[in-house]
Chain A
Amino acid sequence: MSEVSKEALWLTIAALGVGTYLIRFSFLGFLGGRTLPSGLLRLLRYVPVSVFPALVAPQVLWPPGTGGAFDGPRFMAALATLAVGLWRRNVLLALGAGLGVLFLLEGLRRL
């Protein structure tokens, strides 16, 4: 980062900080107690189940940690998380299963 001046760095941090806060504050802050139309409320019920899969799906197939190359252990870990999560409906069990598969397969690869 030698070519980036301290001024540029602080400007970046400030702009990103303020911008990110405004994104988070946006509707919660400015819409306030207004009652939302029922059609919009219906859409909003699907925010988490849409945003998280959209965020994760490309990373499952092309993990940034491997430089974007498909990776067997990571893919299997994602499948295990999904399967246990759908079966037991429990966040920590699902995550435990996924991390277990991931570290097991990573360990085996290193044998």
Chain B
Amino acid sequence: MTSAGRSVFWEGVRDGTPFIFMVGPFALLFGVVATELGLSLWETLSFSTLVIAGAAQFATLELLDAGAPLTVAVATGLAVNLRMALYSLSLVPYFGRAPLAHRAWLAYALVDQVYALALLRFQGREESQADRLAYYAGAAAPICGIWILACALGALAQGTVASVPGLDFAVPLTFLAMVTPMLKDRPGLAAALVAAILAVSARALPFNTGMLLAAAGGMVTGAILEAWGDRHE
């Protein structure tokens, strides 16, 4: 890595580090819950390292514990993660031409917070691909690192972790905080509003389809309004 690339890497680390305090407690909780349900430290750690997706891990574990068929547990977890296909698609303009080996590790680290930080940085900023890769790696290091580390700590500390009231809500607040700076124009605001309203109305649909339909509705709204605005300029 060049010295310029190194400094961009550290910018990513700087931006990603505060999320230790939001992702960490969620990961600790997963470790605690998993061991309470009978998983060993090794199993908990493997789960978090191989899947590295909080909401899906909780959903799958709960279903397994409730005695659901294995296929249902896995399908539900995958449905919760299906939004990441959209993340993957929306990174193509930035990383599509990167070597396959790079795209392979980018995909592994493609968690919500890393994705949001990357888009906050890349949208509207001209930057070399090397710098973008460095920034992404820097942002992913603390976020993915704390997820795995805190899951292990939770598994070890099982039973001794004091629960802070309200802390369960830190992750939704993180998502909200990350999306607000992106709501810069009318199409973006409308997309967010439509997606939120649709998600609330369609929340009862099975397998997370309500959330996916809502996201699609928001995207179409934003794109149509943008096209309409372009035509009237």
Contacts and interface: CB of A to CB of B under 8 A. Distances in A.
B157 interface: no
B161 to A, nearest CB: 15
- Main secondary structure, interface of A, reads helix
B166 A74 contact: yes
A53 B50 CA distance: 27
B156 interface: no
12 contacts: A9-B43, A11-B70, A14-B50, A15-B74, A23-B82, A28-B96, A42-B227, A46-B218, A51-B215, A53-B199, A54-B199, A81-B177
Interface of B: 18, 22, 37-39, 43, 46-47, 50-53, 56-57, 60, 64-65, 67, 70, 73-74, 77-78, 81-93, 95-97, 100, 103-104, 106-108, 110, 112, 115-116, 119-120, 123, 165-166, 168-170, 172-183, 187-188, 191-200, 203, 210-212, 214-223, 226-227
Given A13-B46, A98-B177, A58 B88 contact: no
Contacts, number: 286
B119 to A, nearest CB: 5
Contacts of A58: 199-200, 203, 210-211
A110 B203 CA distance: 31
A32 to B, nearest CB: 6
